[in-house]
Structure 1
Amino acid sequence: MHVVVGANGRAGGEVALALLERGEAVRVVLRRKEQGAKWTALGAEVAIASIEDAGAMADALKSAAGAFLLNPPPVSGDPLVRTEELGAALADAAKRARLPKAVILSSIGAQHASGTGVIATLNRFEALLDKAAPATAFLRSGYFVETWSEVVKAVLTESVLPTFLEPSQKIPMVSTIDVGRAAASVLCEEWTGKRVVELSGPQDRSAGDVASAFTEVIGRPVVPVLVPPERRAALLAEDGVPAEVAAALLGMFEGIAKGLFTQQNDNEHRRGTISLTTAIERFIASAGR
């Protein structure tokens, strides 16, 4: 039995689906009972628990052969404080449940303790969960291709791709489909101690490449438009992003621009197979439902 935390999110959901496709027994951990019908229909067991509740999480992790754990994207408050709370709770829960194996979602660039905004919280998250299980793997993912779904309205209505990334800068990008498959694969492997697995897509990509992929999918030219740094905080505020969370997100883009979103040679490296166009076709289809 593999336990998946965050199954209703982008990455966690793909991990649960990938495990089920492999024929593995899966228990998903959800916050609310009404979220479970989809997973029950797919053949998964459902446990109800909040990540910050160490006792409930320990119950959800009991008898598991392994678990996929993550630090959910911040939505309010100080992201680092939130990371400390959630990381401590998950580590406590894993130890109470005597979890033998954990795959923990992180990010490329998490080797840096500062200078990378919200990614730096994953540096701390890794430290908190370093000894959560006898076998621990940190899955450092590239920039999610699915993040571009957040600007799909502008793409479809204005044929522009707003971006905080310099359009020609290539960075590791990966679809959450590949994240799910990689996490499921690692969970089904045997090892002891700590390992770091860095995951990127078939090729490193830029915002310009993403615009070209949108052009191919929708059949008309899409132009990447760099949002000036001085405009970004206001745009996030207009979208309802709290100031502390916005600062952490903007810090991430500053770190990427400075070249800190890079892999380390001494870690394991894997590449996914999902192309930009395949990922974009999927989330455009989802947006149209």
Structure 2
Amino acid sequence: MLLITTPTGNTGRAVLQAVLEAGETPRVLVRDPSRLSPETLSRIEVVQGDMHDPRDLERSLNGIEGAFFCVPQSPDPEDLSAYYRSFTEPFARAARTAGLGRLVSISGGDDQEDNRGPGRQLRESEEILNTSGASVRFVRCGYFMEQFLWRMYGVVQSGVFALPIAPSVPIPFVAAQDIGRGAAALLLDRTWTGRDTVAAHGPERLTCNQAAQVASEVLGRPVQFRSITAQQYAASLTPHGVSDAMGQSLGEMFEAISEGRDMGAQAAHELPCPTTLRDWMSTVLKPAVARLRAGASSS
């Protein structure tokens, strides 16, 4: 049996869907099963619980051969290393006790010692998960296209999105759906052993100026990119409940991207991630912007 954590998240949901399409009946560990559709619930085994709780992890991992692991994303941790350890350490202990055979985990960063931003915590998490005794594939991801959803308000109100990066720096934009389906393919492949890294990058590397041009064409209205400082970026996130520590970490991430590191770094293997930014904006961003504008008009 296979276990899927974070089955209601952007990536975990895609993993679950792909595993179901393959005819499997997986187990999920989820805090709120009502966030899954009735049709999905009818085809899976549910353990309702918390990824921090050793007892819930023991129940989830009992009899499991392969697992998908992802640290749930949160905007407000004040100590990022402590936040990531609070998930990875109990999971690694429970996996070792259960004799888990294979583990697919979402990760990031590169193989240098001076990782910055979320890449630092993700590389620390890799070291912890390596103590689980399982064979592991760490999926090191590019820049999630879904991050544009955070910038929707600026696009709707002023036609501008701003990030702390130069407009000419190429970014490996990747869709969470592609990452999830690629991770599911690894999970369903029972032939691999050992520990390795797998890159999950999109089919193209675009600058933010190029991304703004794509957004303009898809949304049918001018969209511009503005480069800002890391301090300005962190301040723009605070009204949305993002902690100072998280804001600083994201600023460091863009510094690493500017140096050709972290997201987009080389890995031993690469997952197929075919969704272009134009396709994603047409199918995800454009409807979301339309809903936001409709809501603003009716209020």
Give the TM-score normalised by structure 2: 0.88
Structure 1 residues 288 and 65, CA gap change in structure 2 (3 angstroms)? farther
| 1:35 partner amino acid | R
| 1:261 partner amino acid | D
Q: Secondary structure at the match of 1:156?
A: helix
What's 1:90 paired with? 91
1:70-99 deviation digits (Å, cap 9, x = unpaired): 122243220101222221111012112221
Cα distance in structure 2, aligned partners of 1:287 and 1:52: 35
Q: Secondary structure at the match of 1:211?
A: helix
Shift of 1:42: 6.2
Cα distance in structure 2, aligned partners of 1:95 and 1:219: 53
Shift of 1:28: 2.0
Cα distance in structure 1, aligned partners of 2:185 and 2:42: 19
What does 1:23-34 correspond to in 2, within 5 Å? 23-34=23-34
What's 1:212 paired with? 213
* Structure 1 stretches of 4+ moved >6 Å: none
1:198-243 deviation digits (Å, cap 9, x = unpaired): 1111112222222122122112221111123342232122322122
What's 2:45 paired with? 45
Structure 1 residues 80 and 32, CA gap change in structure 2 (3 angstroms)? same
Cα distance in structure 1, aligned partners of 2:52 and 2:110: 22
Structure 1 residues 53 and 112, CA gap change in structure 2 (3 angstroms)? farther
What's 1:17 paired with? 17
Cα distance in structure 1, aligned partners of 2:49 and 2:60: 7
1:20-44 deviation digits (Å, cap 9, x = unpaired): 2222222221112433445644622
CA contact (8 A) 1:105 1:141 kept: yes
What's 2:4 paired with? 4
Q: Secondary structure at the match of 2:132?
A: coil
What's 1:242 paired with? 243
Report the aligned-residue RMSD: 2.1
Cα distance in structure 1, aligned partners of 2:54 and 2:201: 32
Q: Secondary structure at the match of 1:196?
A: strand
What's 1:222 paired with? 223
What does 1:132-143 correspond to in 2, within 5 Å? 132-143=132-143
CA contact (8 A) 1:197 1:270 kept: yes
Percent identical: 27
| 1:201 partner amino acid | G
Structure 2 stretches of 5 or more lacking a match? 292-299
CA contact (8 A) 1:71 1:125 kept: no
> How many residues are matched?
288
CA contact (8 A) 1:30 1:50 kept: yes
Cα distance in structure 2, aligned partners of 1:217 and 1:85: 41
| 1:280 partner amino acid | M
| 2:52 partner amino acid | E
Shift of 1:16: 0.9
Q: Secondary structure at the match of 2:185?
A: helix
What's 1:277 paired with? 278
Cα distance in structure 2, aligned partners of 1:254 and 1:130: 28
Q: Secondary structure at the match of 1:197?
A: strand
Structure 1 stretches of 5 or more lacking a match? none
1:153-210 deviation digits (Å, cap 9, x = unpaired): 2223322222223222112221011101110111112111111111111112222222
What's 2:150 paired with? 150
